[in-house]
Amino acid sequence: MSTLILIPARMASTRLPGKPLADIAGVPMIVHVARRAAEAGLGRVVVATDTD
What is the structure's pLDDT at 52? 65
Q: What whole-number percentage of the chain has pLDDT above 90? A: 75
What is the structure's pLDDT at 1? 79
Spans of all domains in the chain: 4-49
Cβ atoms of 5 and 37 closer than 8 Å:
yes
Residue type (1 letter), 3: T
Q: What's the 3-state SS for 11-46?
A: CCCCCCCCHHHCEECCEEHHHHHHHHHHHCCCCEEE
* Predicted confidence pLDDT, tens digits, the chain (52 residues): 789 999 999 988 889 889 999 999 999 999 999 999 999 999 999 999 987 6
